[in-house]
Amino acid sequence: MLETVSGFLITLCVLPFLPFMLVYAAGLLRRESKPRSFRQAMDVTTPFLLVAAAALYNYLFASSFGFYLFMLILLLLAGLLGSAQNRKRGRIEPMRLLRGVWRLSFLLLAFCYVLLGVSGFIVHIVNS
């Protein structure tokens, strides 16, 4: 049983857009609005993208720093968004800040996943 669950989680990490499609389709089947289903799919997919992009970075650059690099970037993004929120509203709303960082990290990580995936594919072909 543990091997089955482990295999399923590994598949979701290797193919991070699979959980996106599953959650989005489930939301549409429950008759939720498309924007709400899309946001929920983004929220669920972000941790899988984080693991996948970090693994691609580690493979491409032969390091083990990928996860920490992406976490550092997310912390910097949180600081910048918190500063902008403080200047605009005069206070920081933690839940709103967390939601903004989480959704922006989806966009950033999706871009990095595609970029690193294509780069890794090219490097693998060249080295073969």
Q: Where are the domains of the chain?
A: 2-127
**Average pLDDT of the segment spanning 70-90:** 95
**Average pLDDT of the segment spanning 46-69:** 92
Per-residue pLDDT, 83: 95
Per-residue pLDDT, 128: 81
Please report, for residues 7, 40, 58, 68, 80, the alpha-carbon distance to residue 44 in angstroms, rounded to integers and kept in the order given. 18, 6, 23, 20, 24
3-state secondary structure of 63: coil
Contact 70, 85 (CB under 8 A): no
Reply yes or no on whether the pLDDT at 9 is more than 90: no
Contact 12, 18 (CB under 8 A): yes
Looking at the chain, the whole-number percentage of residues with pLDDT higher than 70 is 94
Upper half-sphere CA count for residue 22 (Cβ side, 13 Å): 8
Per-residue pLDDT, 1: 67
- Average pLDDT score, the chain: 90
